[in-house]
A and B are shown apart, each in its own frame.
Chain A
């Protein structure tokens, strides 16, 4: 009886998620087996029809493969950079932030509530050939010509890092927060030096946070198309750009859907890897 009452709370949101999330995902999957008919229109096809997997074969065609590889490379680079920037700052605040800890973290989170487009646009203004950074470099005499920073893979990875850094900082910070300072004191007595203490005590205890952060940064980076469009050059086309173009320029929805499914599968593998690692971590702790 009691269970029945509470189950009623699930009906509306559950139905909503089914109809507007699960069903659309299924539709994307269905579309990925389809084809473009003679009039250029998207048409569904059974997954068992001959040629139903053509879209998937096309995705790994040498002409498109570089975009897929590039997306993964950029996303990995972004994750590494976010870790390299996010861990020390989270560590600094968690350890030495004192009473202002939450204020400091809040300040770090603040920029991420500024629209992502506007933030990326700021980097366009900063990094362009006659932008503020180049002007400063020329004024300082570092270079006379200005350096090309925009329209490069580095600019794209930088833009992604700027965009998603918060997803690394928060889980790492939360993990550091959960640590008992007494454990560190004990580790210090045991290992004597700070580096050893960090490597043997702090780092392993925050591995959960690092894993979570890596996943949270990697997922949106792989599918991003804003950074590559605004900061990239001719050779920074990512799978997000490719998908977007299939829908709005090349008009091949089934192929776009197949690319979307491939991305989803790839990310699911990544997620499962994370969940298993997290479960492994959790066990000895209990």
Chain B
């Protein structure tokens, strides 16, 4: 009772303090250095990215002197059929990964929470390992299995590798949501005559939908940006965009890379923006960022 009262009191105190610039005599005034520090961290994180974007519009080839605005590096990107093809390949890979990864990951999450199978805890561990395996290990293992089976490397093999890690991502996010939902509503639906599968469709999936959409889009962005797994599993005929960027960077810095990088940013940040916005449209109050990130720490 008293503990609850104390908690309830705190938020107004914090906001009140936030309004005053100078801190209260004792307790947590905002240490000035922390604010400066925070500003520096934001600068550290954003400055390089902004510079990539800025110089993608440079009218000359320099990467140090801004001379005027131009779209020539975007033209260079768009008029290069190989880069266009790679962009298209990356979008294809990310889309297929999103669809299949989300379906399998959601099934896995539901199964893990509800199933009483003896081997389900083992599967739980198997699901977690891909998340903590360095990409290079996953990439080499995938390369070896394709080689062993005589599968020719192509964007198809890249998709297979991407789906594998995305299953785990989706399962984690969806399971977090599932854990907060009881099974009473489903039982009620079945009492009203719904089949078990029907109750999944009518009750379970609508409840999970925000998490599924957010996870799917997250996986899309991760797959679109992935380099290491793609690098080890891609064939040669059509390569994903990050693999092309890699060879380009190794030949040196060029403004076309800035334009390519900026376009890639637009794709992934749009996806992430959707991942944040869409679940809200489902009428959920809680922040989608919480849905996406709160799980990672827990």
**A contacts B: CB pair < 8 Å:** yes
Known contacts A28-B144, A130-B64, A174-B294; is A115 also within 8 Å of B3 by CB? no
Q: Does B105 contact A (CB under 8 A)?
A: yes
Quick one: which of A95, A117, A185, A224 contacts B6, CB cutoff 8 A?
Answer: A185
Q: Are A14 and B108 in contact (CB under 8 A)?
A: yes
Known contacts A106-B276, A220-B134, A247-B143; is A88 also within 8 Å of B34 by CB? yes
Q: Are A125 and B55 in contact (CB under 8 A)?
A: yes
Q: Are A113 and B111 in contact (CB under 8 A)?
A: no
1/0 contact trace for B219-246 toward A, CB 8 Å? 0010001011000100000000010011
Q: Are A225 and B136 in contact (CB under 8 A)?
A: yes
Chain B: interface size category: 35 or more
Q: Are B111 and A89 in contact (CB under 8 A)?
A: no
Question: Nearest chain-A residue to B243 (Cβ)?
Answer: A117
Q: Are A13 and B45 in contact (CB under 8 A)?
A: no
Q: Does B75 contact A (CB under 8 A)?
A: no
1/0 contact trace for A256-282 toward B, CB 8 Å? 110010011001000100000000000
A244 to B227, CA, bound (A): 13
What are the residues of chain B within 8 A of A20 when measuring CB–CB? 142, 145, 160-161, 163-164
- Min CB–CB distance A192 → chain B (angstroms): 8
Q: Does B141 contact A (CB under 8 A)?
A: yes
Q: Are B196 and A260 in contact (CB under 8 A)?
A: no
1/0 contact trace for B4-45 toward A, CB 8 Å? 001100100011001000000011101000110110011011
Q: Are B110 and A9 in contact (CB under 8 A)?
A: yes
Q: Does B78 contact A (CB under 8 A)?
A: no
A260 to B120, CA, bound (A): 28
Q: Does A109 contact B (CB under 8 A)?
A: yes
Q: Does A59 contact B (CB under 8 A)?
A: no
Question: Nearest chain-B residue to A105 (Cβ)?
Answer: B289
What are the residues of chain A within 8 A of B142 when measuring CB–CB? 20, 24
What are the residues of chain B within 8 A of A226 when measuring CB–CB? 227-228
Known contacts A20-B145, A223-B134; is A113 also within 8 Å of B268 by CB? yes
Q: Does B71 contact A (CB under 8 A)?
A: no
Q: Are B144 and A24 in contact (CB under 8 A)?
A: yes
What are the residues of chain B within 8 A of A2 when measuring CB–CB? 116
Q: Are A174 and B297 in contact (CB under 8 A)?
A: yes
Interface of B is mostly: helix
- Min CB–CB distance B276 → chain A (angstroms): 7
Q: Tell me which of B81-89, B91-99, B124-132 binds A.
A: B124-132
Q: Are A14 and B123 in contact (CB under 8 A)?
A: yes
What are the residues of chain B within 8 A of A24 when measuring CB–CB? 138, 141-142, 144-145
Quick one: which of B117, B138, B143 contacts A10, CB cutoff 8 A?
Answer: B117
Q: Does B171 contact A (CB under 8 A)?
A: yes
Q: Are A16 and B136 in contact (CB under 8 A)?
A: no
Quick one: which of A6, A25, A267 contacts B110, CB cutoff 8 A?
Answer: A6
Known contacts A113-B221, A263-B137; is A10 also within 8 Å of B41 by CB? no
Question: Nearest chain-B residue to A158 (Cβ)?
Answer: B44
Nearest 6 interchain pairs by C-beta: A174-B297, A223-B134, A9-B111, A24-B141, A122-B48, A118-B261
Contacts A/B (CB < 8 Å), 25 sampled: A3-B115, A3-B116, A6-B111, A7-B115, A9-B114, A12-B107, A20-B142, A89-B37, A89-B38, A91-B34, A98-B15, A98-B18, A106-B289, A113-B225, A114-B261, A115-B268, A122-B261, A131-B64, A174-B298, A182-B6, A185-B10, A226-B228, A243-B140, A260-B140, A271-B132
Name B's A-contacting residues (CB within 8 A): 3, 6-7, 10, 14-15, 18, 26-28, 30, 34-35, 37-38, 41-42, 44-49, 51-52, 55, 63-64, 104-105, 107-108, 110-112, 114-117, 120, 123, 126-127, 129-130, 132-138, 140-145, 148, 160-161, 163-164, 167-168, 171, 196, 221, 225, 227-228, 232, 242, 245-246, 249-250, 253, 257, 260-261, 264-265, 268-269, 271-272, 276, 287, 289-290, 293-294, 296-298
